[in-house]
Amino acid sequence: MAETRRRLRSSTVVLGGMGVLAAALSACGSDPDRRCVDRDSYDYINGYKIVADKNCASGSSSSGKSRKKTGKTKGTDADWYYDADVSAGYADNGTFSRSEAVDRGGFGCSGSGSGGG
Q: Into how many domains does the chain fold?
A: 1
In a domain, 113, yes or no: no
Task: Assess if residue 36 is contained within a domain.
Answer: yes
Rounded to whole angstroms, the Cα distance separating 107 from 27 reads 6
**CA torsion, ordered 40, 37, 93, 43, to nearest 10 deg:** 40
What pLDDT band is residue 3 in, cutting at 50, 70 and 90? low
Q: So what's the pLDDT on residue 37?
A: 96
| Contacts of 107 by beta carbon, 8 Å cutoff, 6+ apart | 23, 24, 27, 28
**Is the per-residue pLDDT at 29 higher than 90?**
no
Q: 44-78: per-residue pLDDT in tens?
A: 999 999 999 999 975 544 454 445 555 443 667 99
Q: Give me the domain span that covers residue 99.
A: 32-103
Distance of alpha carbon 55 from its chain centroid, rounded?
18
Taking the mean position of all CA atoms in its chain, how far away is CA 26? 12
| pTM of the complete model | 0.55
Mean pLDDT of the chain: 72
